[in-house]
Structure 1
Amino acid sequence: MNHFPSPAAFEAALAALPPASTAARAAAEARQSRLTKPAGSLGRLEDIAIFLAGWQQRERPKIERARAIVFAGNHGVVARGVSAFPPGVTAQMVANFEAGGAAINALCLAAGIDLKVVAIDLDRPTADFAEAPAMSEAECLAALNAGAAAVEADLDLLILGEMGIGNSTAAAALCARSLGGDGALWVGPGTGVDAEGIARKREAVDRALDLHRGAPATPFDTLRRVGGREIAAIAGAVLRARQAAIPVVLDGFICCSAVAPLHAAQPGIVAHCLAGHCSAEPGHARLLEQLGLDPLLALDMRLGEASGAAVAAMVIRAAVAAHDRMATFDEASVSAGL
């Protein structure tokens, strides 16, 4: 099913974002006030539970069906020497995910999360976006719809991540075109390139910004010009999750960059999103600040593949457990004067 049959349909969906349930939030807040603890004593765990209640539209949220989706794609800009690894590593890592041998497999197991891997045309890298648009209109729509189609409407929590050699360069270009700045502001070491590699990444981003400067700055056009298939898929998944009222946990810099073009046009797009962590990639903290997202964790992770978001899901489970399983003052016959 094509949830977004045209760029106009994608933009229309972005302009018509459904809100959270204020009634469910209010009921969850009221429950928090009756639990056997001093008010506010569980800090952000209380906020997380109330956030989930609003989007799941129930006083006591649950996480029975949680899924991590890792989207994978390849990038033509890799030919400019912007990565420490060759593009063939993308397919090799996808095989590792499918065999159960990657960090995300271990972390999903620990967090009680199902894992789904969606590889998109790995044998057809995007065009070098410093020379031409990364994708045609049809290719970008296909990637957006691949992301939307991967989201099942009955999920309680969606964790998003990516795999794609060279995609930190695309992420920097997306942030610069959407939020302002240049390559120097947004480029970091990614998988570990040296100073010369960082210089090549900055040059690629700046060339792309110059090349596409006169093009429309719509979310769709920015994604197709300087993004990648796996990044566009994340954007499609985020928007589809919003339509289905599914709360989303975003991973690192690259994952969050998929939201930057959408946020530039419609800041409310992140209302159903949690930032799982702040990664070690320098641009991530700046991006989260621009998006207005306060990360749950800061563990100096920089792996991608939804790993930081999967760790954060364990904290989210703790928030749900406390909210649901604690007794109220009345149930425990405890004075409410704590």
Structure 2
Amino acid sequence: MTIPTISPIHDDALARALTAAIDNKTKPPGSLGMLESMAHRIGLIQRTTQPCVAEPALIVFAGDHGVTEEGISAYPQSVTWQMVENFLAGGAAINVFARQNGCALHIVDAGVNHDFGTRAGLLDRKVAHGTRNFAREAAMTPQQCAQAMEHGAELAANLAGNVLGFGEMGIGNTTSAAAIMHALTQLPAADCVGAGTGLPAAGVLHKQQVVQQAVARHAAVHRFAPLDVLASFGGFEIAMMVGAMLKGAAQRKVLLIDGFIVTSALLVAAKLQPAILDYCVFAHCSDEHGHRRLLEMLGAEPVLQMGLRLGEGTGSVLALPMLQAAVNFLCEMATFDSAGVSGNVSGQAA
């Protein structure tokens, strides 16, 4: 796909106006903590001092991974398609939390190793029946990778709202995300690989060895440009997220970033267009080993710290009320003048 140009959000005049509006609310300066910085960021993204959360949506991309042949998951590959069925039936955690928070939910078959047929509620963008085993060969061809990114961009472009969250489902995708992180950051594999679906210590060590050896093997072929890394180690669901993120930011949507796998997709997108980070709100810090280090490298401050490691976009939807609170206080909270309250310039509570 053609990579869209993403402009930084900073605007000096608007930034000053937002700071003044936030500081003039009936509270000590800075007393709403992260909600204040979040309101400021959303205002800059939307180019207004009256930002809003309108028609928030989350896309769950599902795909299978050939690297499961290496025994890197505690669950069989069939769980991917079974969980897609659970999403379609409305019974997964992401369904519950999306309903609770008024978030539109879209389920995408990016490349599941299963034939669903025509199904209500399922968006069929299948590139292939899962990727190849990247321990032996590139996971995707460059053409497949580009196709997946195009599908993601098209899906993002067709959503009307101004907040876009991302979720994923795919047995083996923490291994894919760890390989992407290892290749693009040059951090040791041990810093990137975790338990995923619940591997014991010996399983984590094996997974680490698979990632380390695969990245070393591909290094002889590629110089690890971002799209090389994505095609070599990614999944179709990860590539679609990259395309959707780039398109969403180009449309000045707020990007709500979930856990480790979603953040690995963002890492690729940020290598392509660094300004995309301006458009991101990081929902949480996952319990998956490597996510904290990845967030640190991206300069990210997660909204929630809840020990989550489910995926599906659950952290993103759980953080959505915090976005709503941020724009609501900015738009609805009284100012010192309107409330007849004396301004507290000291920043100390009365």
Please say whether Structure 1 and Structure 2 have the same fold, judged by a TM-score greater than 0.5. yes
Q: Does 1:284 align with 2:273?
A: no
Distance 2:154 2:85 in 1: 21
Give the one of 328, 336, 345 matched to 1:329.
Answer: 336
2:131 partner letter = T
Displacement after TM superposition at 1:77 (Å): 0.1
Q: Does 1:112 align with 2:102?
A: yes
Q: Does 1:125 align with 2:130?
A: yes
Displacement after TM superposition at 1:261 (Å): 2.8
Distance 2:69 2:29 in 1: 56
1:172 partner letter = A
Q: Does 1:103 align with 2:93?
A: yes
Asked if the contact 2:45–2:254 (Cα under 8 Å) also holds between the matched residues in 1, the reply is yes
Partner of 2:6: 17
2:167 partner letter = G
Q: Report % sequence identity.
A: 40
Distance 1:68 1:266 in 2: 22
Q: Deviations over 1:99-143 (max 9, x none)?
A: 111111111122221111111121211010111110011110111
Q: Deviations over 1:36-71 (max 9, x none)?
A: 111111111111111101111111111121001111
Displacement after TM superposition at 1:263 (Å): 3.0
Distance 1:183 1:95 in 2: 33
Distance 1:254 1:334 in 2: 47
TM-score by length of 2: 0.90
Displacement after TM superposition at 1:283 (Å): 0.5
Distance 2:94 2:228 in 1: 31
Asked if the contact 1:76–1:126 (Cα under 8 Å) also holds between the matched residues in 2, the reply is yes
Partner of 1:208: 214
Note the 1:5-154 alignment, pairs <5 A. 9-10=2-3, 13=4, 16-20=5-9, 22=11, 23-123=13-113, 124-151=129-156, 152=158, 154=160
2:191 partner letter = L
1:296 partner letter = V
Partner of 2:198: 192
Partner of 2:304: 297
Asked if the contact 1:73–1:228 (Cα under 8 Å) also holds between the matched residues in 2, the reply is yes
Distance 1:335 1:107 in 2: 41
Unaligned runs of 5+ in 2: 114-128, 346-350
Partner of 1:308: 315
Asked if the contact 2:178–2:189 (Cα under 8 Å) also holds between the matched residues in 1, the reply is yes
Give the one of 235, 255, 280 matched to 1:228.
Answer: 235
Distance 1:40 1:106 in 2: 33
Displacement after TM superposition at 1:84 (Å): 0.9
TM-score by length of 1: 0.93
Count of matched residue pairs: 327
Displacement after TM superposition at 1:266 (Å): 4.5
- After superposition, the CA RMSD in angstroms is 1.5
The more displaced of 317-326 and 21-30 is 21-30
1:326 partner letter = M
Partner of 2:125: none
The more displaced of 72-81 and 182-191 is 182-191
